[in-house]
Amino acid sequence: MTQSLRDLFLRRLNQAFWLGLLMMLAGWGAWRFSRLATPPPISRPTHRIDREFRQLHLQSIASLDSSVNLLRQALTAQESETVLLNLTEQVRQQTQAVSLLSLSDPSFTEANPTDTRTALLDQCLEFRQLLLRKSPTPALSQHLAVFQSEVRHLHYRVAGN
């Protein structure tokens, strides 16, 4: 009887050893698998594209602001009407580009984006009309100051998003 108990004990000990070894291998495999299962961090290309688009939008607004400032300086220096009309046309084209970018910017959301486009373009065309009607310089300068204020406000809103 002692021999059979001894054999039974050795068999159970052998089974426990192999079961423990298998459990350790399964645990190690699960740990390795869990470390491999997490994907490496990847940069989202859409995030980069959005950031580049915003940079382009901000650069076009800054360029428009610079052109309006140049127009104000030309007005103050009492440049010829031809020079002022050429600068006004340049500002109108830049205003149109900024307006289109404002409408296309996915991160720039506002209640009615067409209001911004219409307001900027309307003010640009109104300045041209004032210039053609030979309005006094203070009125033209005041109009440009309001226009530049709106351009800078747009820059602030786009940069803030």
Do 31 and 104 share a domain, yes or no?
no
d(CA 147, CA 14): 89
Are the C-beta atoms of 110 and 116 separated by less than 8 Å? yes
* One-letter-per-residue 3-state SS of 54-80: HHHHHHHHHHHHHHHHHHHHHHHCCCC
Number of domains in the chain: 2
33 and 49 share one domain: no
* CATH number of 103's domain: 1.20.120
Helix (H, G, I), strand (E, B) or coil at 113: helix
Candidates 74, 75, 68; CA nearest to 90 is 68
Give the confidence band of 44 by pLDDT, cuts at 50, 70, 90: low
Give me the amino acid identity at 55: Q
Q: What percent of the chain has pLDDT over 70?
A: 84
Residue 104 or residue 19, greater confidence: 19
Q: Are residues 58 and 127 in the same domain?
A: yes
Whether 64 and 130 map to the same domain: the answer is yes
pLDDT digits (tens, 9 = 90+) for 55-105: 888 899 999 999 999 999 998 888 888 998 999 999 999 988 888 888 776
- Give the pLDDT confidence of 99-127 residue by residue, as tens digits: 888 877 665 555 455 566 678 888 888 88
Regarding whether 69 and 33 lie in a shared domain, the answer is: no
Residues 153 and 120 both lie in one domain: yes
Beta carbons of 67 and 94 less than 8 angstroms apart? yes
- pLDDT top residue among 25 and 33: 25
For residues 83 and 148, membership in a common domain is answered with yes
Q: 10 and 81: one domain?
A: no
Q: CA 30, CA 108: separation in Å to the nearest integer? A: 46
Clarify whether residues 79 and 114 are in a common domain. Answer: yes
pLDDT attached to residue 110: 53
Kindly state whether residues 30 and 55 are assigned to the same domain: no
- Residue span of the structural domain in which 73 resides: 45-160
Assess whether 7 and 50 both reside in one domain: no
Stronger pLDDT, 45 or 109, i.e. the higher one:
45
Is 15's pLDDT higher than 90?
A: yes
Same domain, 28 and 49: no
SS3 state of residue 99: helix
Paired tokens of 54: 């915003």
- What are the residue ranges of helices labelled H in 38-136? 45-76, 81-104, 113-132
Model pTM score = 0.65
